[in-house]
Structure 1
Amino acid sequence: MVDMVTNNEAQSRYEVHVDGALAGFLEYRTVGDVVALVHTEVDDAYAGQGLGGRLAKFALDDAQARGVKVSPTCPFVAKYVDKHPEYRVTIR
């Protein structure tokens, strides 16, 4: 059960928590009006549960809501965007 996905601005990463425990994160770097999504990591204990996809979706939705462009340098996020063309308008 996913408790929540949040933006931890202090550590420049989106985090997904399961039952209160940190299960994964997506690191980012902000330069001007572009957010580079640089690294996605999910703890092995939570592998195969779709948490990486939840992180990618949350980050891309957040960028759209804030009106910023995304540079998906993380291979996982780039593949997610390929599978979800609705996010291509967000890509720089």
Structure 2
Amino acid sequence: MEYELIDNKEAKQYELIVGGKKPRIEYIAVKDKIYLTHTEVPRELEGKGIASKIVLMVLQDIKSRNLTLIPMCPFVAMYIKRHPEWRELVLKGINIV
């Protein structure tokens, strides 16, 4: 299945359209930093890897835009802990445990 990531700047969230549903990651962007604050996947899509997919796509976008990440969302922090290759994006001094 192919996914398209949408950066809905007006709503301050990244979105995927999956089967008419809209999983999202909410954020706060300040200069060259981005705070990922909340990940939400509609109940109908839970357990299908959608949350991990949207986190991966958002991290790829953050890297391509050369932003510094502050992961406030527990799911995003857990994803980075499991995939340490993404720690390079995280603001120095923030420990992910």
TM-score normalized with structure 1 length: 0.91
Q: Could you tell me how far apart the structure 2 residues matched to 1:53 and 1:86 are?
A: 15
Letter in 2 for 1:60: L
Tell me if structure 2 keeps the 8 A contact 1:15–1:22. Answer: no
The letter of the residue matching 1:18 is V
Q: How does 1:13-92 map to 2 (within 5 A)?
A: 13-19=13-19, 21-92=20-91
Query: Which sections of structure 2, spanning at least 5 residues, go unmatched?
Result: 92-97
Pick the structure with more strand per residue. Answer: 1
Q: Aligned residue pairs: how many?
A: 91
Distance in 2, matches of 1:40 and 1:82, equals: 16
TM-score w.r.t. structure 2 length? 0.87
| Richer in helix (by share) | 1
Per-residue Cα deviation, 1:15-50 (whole angstroms, up to 9, x for no partner): 11113x133100000012110000000000110011
Runs of at least 4 residues off by over 4 Å: none
Structure 1: segments with no counterpart, 5+ residues: none
